[in-house]
Amino acid sequence: MRSALAITATATAALFSSALSAPVMDELWRRASNSVTSDVNYAASKSYTHVIVGCGLGGLTTAVRLSEDPKNTVLCLEAGGDSRTDDRVVSMTQYGKAFGTELDWGWATTPQPAAGGNTKTIRGGKTLGGSTAINNGAWGRGDAAQYDGLSQLGNDGWSWSDIESYMKKSEDWNAPQGWQKDAGAQGDSSAHGTGGPVTVSFTPDMYKGPHQKAYVKALNNALGVPEVSDLAAGNVSGVVSYSQNSMQPTGNQIRVSSATAYLSPVEKIRPNLVVLLNWRGVKMNMASSNNGKHKAASVVAQSTKSGPQRTFKASKGVIVSAGAIRTPLFLEASGIGNADVLKKIGVQQQIDLPGVGKGLIEQTMNSIGSKQGHYDPSGKGPSNIIAFPNIYQVMSNATEVRSWIESNMDSWAQAQVNAGSAVNKAGLLKQYELTVKLIFDDKVGIVELFGDHGYPQSGMGVDLWQMMPFSRGSVHSTDASGFSHPQLNPGYFTNPVDMALTVAGLRAARKTLKDSAIRDGLGETESLPGFSVIPDNDQQGDFAKWQNFVLKGNGGNGFSSVHHPIATASMMSRELGGVVDPNFKVYDTENVWIVDASVLPTQMTAHLSASLYGLAEKAAATIRKA
């Protein structure tokens, strides 16, 4: 016999279904069973303890962790839509298909002198999951010394041992299967977590051809780069023949984004979490608190530039997770930043933090390659051979290079300040000193040599980027609307060290492709740029010709951005130009935190996602205690 409750529920459903149309019933059921909505009226019908601006990696990680506490009610505002079932997103085989579409912010830079006055594009995911929905999913962490170094910039308590536990918390690691081990895949189980939200595995379609081992052997022969077992273990100066990805271990290279990892498992069972799509946070309303600090009272959201605004109150606080490009814009629209910038966009200054938008660090990429030789790649990929040689492996005169850097750091730092890319010389010198220590003393990987089958030619290629740039840039609002394109100036190659290291990396890449393991073993030789464009010599080619290739190669387009911008709201002491303290809180505020790549003050020798998941887990734990 059915219970009275069941009978009542059935009768109620029948009553409502007779009175309401099917679409209305569908919407009511969706609201009752799903955290994700595009209905602003539904979102406005609730009250919130926390409002999060941006539902990418940092935003969704924080939203889901905060809403684990039933006393918290969390709203996450997402400027884009939900692409979890979009063919351009679901499988890594479609990597790149989202670029230049509505899923991509596609920020154009200001004209760059290093690019002959042309602009460059920085990609960023404009969709649920942010850039984790459109990136290539490479998984690895920086060198342990790089996390330890964060404490030298005023971040007491930060270290590898601390952040490692949070990085592991985010993971559900899958060891290589038997056939993958036979092909050469390795992993260190002690370096990973299991049972976390983000599935990490080796691609089920991974290449099994001879080019993987040949590339590893060539790197060892040509440069002395050793093979390491795992790029997540804290010692990454070496090469792995197979890297890991945020990807399901079975199926057609199924992407794991922050949306599928964190949100999907709870969206139908978490009534205290609302994710509002196609509405962006444009500013905070601030008020003074009893202790004299500023308190965020609410967030103003808008769907279109000409559309109505809605205000969402936050009783406990606001978390800004809009990413390294958009987070500074949101802060400036809220009156937080440099007085001169705020005056230009007509915003009254609330908090004087000149570091907002300054200190931008972005990497650049160039590729060389060969045409297909006589080998079968035996698989679909994606390409996943990653090497991080250190300075002594790519430069025979590394000691002299160190002296050159140290004797010029002062003037270079002042030049960046004069260009508006740094707050003060003292702060940038601290970063430079740390970078020099990491490069020359700790011997962290200084360039990435990414073994790329089928790009930029049909055979083996090498994608090269300098991991720890000395150049700095900036990003600022052009108005207070939250919809206008920012003034985005990455300042590519404004410090000469970056070109020196880039050319050294390209020479190292050429030397690797020339090695017998590739030349004879695969039957390949460099065809881009090729020896007719850059004649070979005992230094692997003339510096000036390589520099020209960096700036103007690839049919005149030259280098591209790597799409890893950081450091526009840095976690540093305030006197050095920092914007947030070691607990992610914006200086002079009581309840505003930033959780995204903008707080990282220096680059890592890694693709960033694994580090950022750990950072977001640490931030969420910190904010829950606030």
- Which residue numbers are catalytic? 564, 607
Angle in degrees, 0-180, between the axes of helices 609-625 and 160-169, rounded to the nearest 10:
90
Query: CA–CA separation, 129 vs 613, rounded Å?
Result: 12
3-state SS assignment for residue 408: helix
In the block, which residue shows the tokens 């006197």? Answer: 575
Residue 5, number of CB atoms within 10 A of its CB: 8
| Cα three-residue angle 344-348-349, rounded to 5 degrees | 95
Under 8 Å between Cβ of 158 and 164: no
Query: CA–CA separation, 179 vs 206, rounded Å?
Result: 10
Region for 320 from its dihedrals, namely left if φ exceeds 0, alpha if ψ lies in -120 to 50, beta otherwise: beta
Residue 405 CA, distance from chain mean position = 28
Query: CA–CA separation, 517 vs 306, rounded Å?
Result: 60
Under 8 Å between Cβ of 364 and 370: no
b/e burial code for range 397-418 (CB count within 10 A of at least 16 → b): ebeebbeebeebbeebbebbbe
Query: CA–CA separation, 97 vs 43, rounded Å?
Result: 32
> What percent of the residues of the chain are helix, what percent strand, and what percent coil, each to the nearest 5?
35, 20, 45
Nearest residue to 609 (alpha-carbon basis) of 236, 258, 107, 124: 258
Query: CA–CA separation, 330 vs 509, rounded Å?
Result: 41
Residue-level length of the chain: 626
Q: Where are the extended beta strands (E) located within 134-265? A: 138-139, 171-173, 198-200, 239-240, 244-245
Sheet of 473-476: strands edge to edge? 358-360, 473-476, 487-489
H or E stretch including 121? strand 121-122
Question: What is the amino acid identity at position 559?
Answer: F
Nearest residue to 187 (alpha-carbon basis) of 265, 260, 129, 240: 240
Q: Where are the extended beta strands (E) located within 389-506? A: 447-453, 460-466, 473-476, 487-489
Beta-carbon contacts of residue 299 (< 8 Å; ≥ 6 apart): 51, 53, 77, 281, 283, 284, 285, 311, 312, 314, 318
